[in-house]
Amino acid sequence: MAIKKVGVVGCGLMGAGIAQVTAEAGYPVVIREVEQAFLDRGLGMIEKNWARAVEKGKLTAEARAKAAANLRGTLSLEDLRDCDLVIEAIIENIEEKKKLFAALDRICPPETILASNTSSLTVIEMAMATGRPDRVCGLHFFNPVPVMKLVEVVRTVRTSEGTFRTAYEFARSVGKEPVAAKDNSGFIVNLLLVPYLLDAIRAVEAGVASVEDIDKGMKLGCGHPMGPLTLLDFVGLDTTSYIANIMFEEYREKRYAPPPLLRKMVQAGFFGKKSGRGFYDYSGPEPKVADLGL
């Protein structure tokens, strides 16, 4: 099946990134948010990325204008009715996602493929909220979407071969490297990444080393672009906590259990970079290790 028009639901960090790369690849994209302020913020992020890319000579002014013309924001889900593929990137909450998939199932033609950008929920639950489980799959992008090359293409037990192939080729067509994953919570990357990030928090709790040295250790010792505590601040401590809870519910294994320090930081409103404070304090010109009260 050929994808001609793409819908994205949710104009947060992930939704905006997905809409950006899809519009750049030449697809008409409609992105939907629930509130004008959220839509403006997401579209503003995309504009800023394009402006920076033009400044750096990575994108021509003409290509930017073409991409911008491909992108349209809306507050109405009905505006996604003529999309061939809709990618959901809303809050990581199964009830909200099921409601959205049921609504998309009513609005979109039966051939439309519905995909979720979930990072930890199983896709089958969303698929079964629709009358077309064979046309539902996962398309899991990574943050920051314009930079990270990977997309996990997730096939449930009900996903048809045609849907999987179309989604896989779509990921390629927007310049990403797809990998095939089964519908297990966390797929490939988060299955391995989440316990690692949680172990880094446990290492802080146990006083194994300082926050800076744990980060330095993994950057210089393993060649990671960011240490785990910087990465936690980048992903968001609230998001990590959500994901870990979902994975813990699914597997009931200690390695997915959010450590007490993570819970306390989230309760305190220290969500990482986006809130100005997490393992580091971002209020100054350079991030500084925050007082964790340990």
Q: Exactly one of 112, 130, 159, 190 binds ligand CAA (CB under 6 A); which one?
A: 190
Alpha-carbon span 138 to 140, nearest angstrom: 6
Q: Which member of 119, 120, 185, 241 is catalytic?
A: 119
Distance (Å, rounded) from C-alpha 167 to C-alpha 165?
Answer: 5
Q: Is 51 in the site for ligand CAA (CB under 6 A)?
A: no
The C-alpha angle 262, 265, 266, rounded to 5 degrees, equals 85
To the nearest whole angstrom, how small is the minimum distance from the Cβ of residue 181 to ligand CAA? 12
Question: Taking CB under 6 A as the rule, does residue 74 contact ligand CAA?
Answer: no
Does residue 197 belong to the site contacting ligand CAA (CB under 6 A)? no
**Between 56 and 254, CB nearer to ligand CAA:** 56
Query: Around Cβ 259, how many Cβ atoms within 10 Å?
Result: 19
Q: Is residue 231 near ligand CAA by the rule CB under 6 A?
A: yes
266 binds ligand CAA (CB under 6 A): no
* Contact pick of 49, 122, 130, 241 for ligand CAA (by CB under 6 A): 49
Phi, psi for 53 (deg, rounded to 5)? -65, -40
What type of residue sits at position 214?
Answer: I
User: Is residue 190 among the annotated active site residues?
Assistant: yes
CB 110 to ligand CAA: min, Å = 30
Residue 67, interface with ligand CAA (CB under 6 A)?
A: no
Under the binding rule (CB under 6 A), the answer on residue 77 touching ligand CAA is: no
CB of 134 to ligand CAA, least distance (A): 25
> For residue 86, which of 103, 70, 69 has the smallest C-alpha distance?
103
Q: How far is the CB of 14 from ligand CAA (least distance, A)?
A: 8
Place of tokens 């994205």: 8
Query: Is-catalytic flag, 140?
Result: yes
Catalytic one of 70, 152, 185, 241: 152
Q: Does 94 bind ligand CAA (CB under 6 A)?
A: no
Nearer residue to ligand CAA within complex by CB, 68 or 102: 68
Residue 146 touching ligand CAA (CB under 6 A): yes
Least spacing, CB of residue 93 vs ligand CAA, in Å? 15
Please give the full DSSP string across 223-280, using - where no structure is assigned. Answer: --SS-HHHHHHHH-HHHHHHHHHHHHHHH--GGGSPPHHHHHHHHTT--BGGGTBSSE
Helices (H), 32-160: 36-55, 61-70, 94-107, 123-127
Residue 119 touching ligand CAA (CB under 6 A): yes
Name the minimum Å distance from CB 125 to ligand CAA: 17
**Burial of 89 from C-beta contacts in 10 A (0-12 / 13-18 / 19+):** buried
Asked if residues 74 and 30 have their Cβ atoms less than 8 Å apart, the reply is yes
Please state, in angstroms and rounded to a whole number, the distance separating the CA atoms of residues 26 and 14.
19
22 touching ligand CAA, by CB under 6 A? no
Element housing 173 (H / E): helix 161-173
Task: Considering the candidates 70, 116, 117, 190, report the single residue annotated as catalytic.
Answer: 190
Q: What are phi and psi of 213, to 5 degrees?
A: -75, -30
> Could you say whether residue 143 binds ligand CAA (CB under 6 A)?
yes
Based on the residue annotation, tell me whether 241 is a catalytic residue of this protein.
no
List active site positions.
Answer: 119, 140, 152, 190
Summarize as ranges the residues that interact with ligand CAA (CB under 6 A). 49, 56, 58, 119, 142-144, 146-148, 190, 225-226, 231, 235
